[in-house]
């Protein structure tokens, strides 16, 4: 806090609503919105009759309650602002309301979004909403769930969402905290004292309480100014965690217990710990040559809002390649030898939009290989997306475990080009062309 207190940052809290009159929150609350009633209104206060009505107020206090005011508690980022968005009613949150809340938060300047909510179901629209926020550089933080389970919990388990586990005051994992390949980091979440509805205070426990600690620390990192991009912010957050389990990352603590001071002072690139895939997005598509071969681990590849939906699968673990045609011919693409079920899709980009040129899931039926021939002309720009056709696989012997999709991709591209006038292929070398001129 000697360095930064989160000034100029906006934490959107998508929850049950916030007590807009709480004295420990009032100075930070921005005008919000309520999507729960049949008719949307602009009063994000909770419904006092709902059994979970005080949840959002408690979460908000953890993230950025007023501090040094002689009242109540100290928030993590106590100079940041709160954008309250009510999306949880008495029976929970609807996916459509989550989507509306994300769009509203992004459109009203949120720099980080906290979602202390979730469930076990995977939904395309919900995943699209998380990608929408990522596309605008807004970081989403979500609770990992309280079922002591390794079954993926959403939205925390989507790409571009930071999944937060619950740590006790003795720096041990809470017995109820979920675990698995999607846990990113841990934070205090047991017997947390914070603001409650109707100007009161009290203790609550769960990953719902851990998540706003992380949202607050992200606001501190952003405000400190050392990390300029979402990727750098996540590096500062995750690569400074305190190991509580296996060195590095593990499925119970993620990258460890959050260390706010180290994260705020971290210089990106100092101790980079995160696995990245260079051609993860279309903007970073890897150039293809006439004879191209590439082996890459796509386990940590993600999907983005702009990725088109291929002919199979859900565009999971996508990587991109680009071919600029200087010769006319046929470009042959294949993924033979890959360790997972791939989908190949090729797109032409004559202007700003993508046009599907071809797509293949299984070249020989039921295998991991995809094969695709695409005719190209001089001047064509072709983008090739390789995605995983696999979904999360559950082991019936261990129903609490899940295996992420992706793996080793072996991608090859070969251009069989048409020789120029007066030229022909050599019978001695497949890579040679002989040209005769008068």
The pLDDT assigned to 282 comes to 92
SS3 213: helix
pLDDT at 438: 64
pTM: 0.86
55: annotated active-site residue: yes
pLDDT score of 401:
40
Q: SS3 for 287-349, per residue?
A: ECCCEEEEEEECCCCCCCCCCCCCCCCCCEEEEEEEEECCCCEEEEEECCCCCCCEEEEEEEC
* Residue 172 pLDDT: 97
Rg of the chain over Cα atoms, rounded to whole angstroms, equals 25
Q: Residue 324: pLDDT band by 50, 70, 90 thresholds? A: very high
Q: Which residue among the candidates 55, 58, 160, 213 is catalytic per the annotation?
A: 55
Tokens of 432: 């040679």
Whether pLDDT at 431 is above 70? no
Under 8 Å between Cβ of 240 and 23: no
Q: Over the stretch 160-176, which tens digit does the pLDDT of each residue have?
A: 999 999 999 999 999 99
Nearest to 179 by CA among 154, 153, 161, 215: 153
pLDDT in tens, 293-318: 999 999 889 888 888 988 888 888 89
Q: What percent of the chain has pLDDT over 90?
A: 71
**Segment among 259-268, 329-338, 365-374 with least mean pLDDT:** 365-374
Active site residue 176: no
**Rounded to whole angstroms, what are the CA distances from 34 to 86, 90, 91, 93, 409?**
5, 13, 15, 12, 45
Note the pLDDT of residue 398.
Answer: 40
Predicted pLDDT of residue 269: 87
pLDDT band at residue 427, thresholds of 50, 70 and 90? low
Active site residue 22: no
> Is the pLDDT assigned to residue 365 strictly greater than 70?
no
Interval 309-331 mean pLDDT: 90
Q: 45, 143, 186, 208: which is the annotated catalytic residue? A: 208
CB 221 within 8 A of CB 236: yes
Per DSSP, what are the bridge partners of residue 374? 331
Q: Which of these ranges, 95-99, 138-142, 399-403, 405-409, has the smallest mean pLDDT?
A: 399-403
- 3: which 2 tokens? 């360095």
Mean pLDDT of the chain: 90
- 270, pLDDT greater than 90: no
Active-site residue (options: 15, 47, 97, 307): 15
């Amino acid at each position: 806090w000697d360095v930064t207190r989160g000034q100029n940052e906006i934490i959107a809290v998508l929850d049950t609503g916030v007590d807009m009159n709480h004295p420990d929150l009032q100075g930070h609350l921005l005008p919000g919105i309520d999507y729960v009633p049949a008719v949307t209104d602009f009063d994000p206060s909770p419904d006092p009759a709902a059994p979970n009505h005080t949840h959002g107020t408690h979460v908000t206090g953890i993230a950025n309650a007023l501090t040094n005011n002689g009242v109540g508690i100290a928030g993590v980022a106590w100079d940041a602002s709160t954008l309250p968005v009510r999306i949880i009613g008495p029976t929970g949150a609807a996916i459509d309301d989550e989507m509306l809340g994300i769009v509203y938060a992004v459109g009203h300047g949120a720099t980080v979004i906290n979602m202390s909510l979730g469930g076990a179901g995977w939904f395309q629209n919900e995943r699209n909403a998380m990608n929408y926020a990522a596309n605008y550089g807004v970081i989403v933080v979500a609770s990992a769930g309280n079922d002591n389970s390794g079954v993926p919990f959403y939205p925390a388990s989507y790409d571009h969402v930071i999944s937060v586990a619950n740590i006790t005051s003795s720096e041990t994992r809470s017995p109820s905290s979920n675990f698995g390949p999607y846990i990113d980091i841990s934070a205090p979440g047991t017997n947390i004292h914070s603001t409650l509805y109707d100007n009161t205070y009290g203790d609550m426990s769960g990953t719902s309480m851990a998540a706003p600690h992380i949202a607050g620390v992200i606001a501190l990192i952003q405000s400190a100014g050392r990390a300029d991009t979402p990727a750098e912010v996540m590096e500062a957050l995750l690569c400074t965690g305190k190991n509580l389990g296996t060195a590095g990352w593990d499925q119970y603590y993620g990258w460890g217990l959050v260390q706010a001071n180290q994260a705020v002072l971290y210089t990106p690139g100092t101790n980079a710990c995160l696995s990245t895939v260079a051609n993860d997005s279309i903007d970073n598509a890897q150039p293809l040559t006439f004879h191209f071969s590439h082996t890459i681990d796509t386990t940590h590849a993600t999907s983005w809002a702009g990725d088109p939906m291929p002919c199979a699968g859900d565009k999971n673990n996508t990587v991109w390649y680009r071919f600029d045609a200087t010769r006319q011919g046929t470009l042959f693409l294949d993924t033979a030898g890959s360790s997972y079920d791939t989908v190949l899709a090729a797109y032409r980009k004559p202007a700003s939009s993508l046009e599907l040129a071809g797509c293949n899931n299984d070249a020989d039926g039921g295998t991991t290989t995809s094969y695709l021939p695409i005719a190209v002309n001089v001047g064509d720009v072709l983008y090739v997306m390789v995605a995983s056709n696999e979904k999360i696989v559950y082991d019936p012997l261990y129903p609490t475990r899940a295996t992420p999709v992706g793996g080793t991709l072996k991608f090859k591209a070969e251009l069989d080009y048409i020789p120029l006038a007066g030229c022909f292929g050599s019978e001695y070398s497949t890579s040679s062309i002989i040209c005769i001129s008068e």
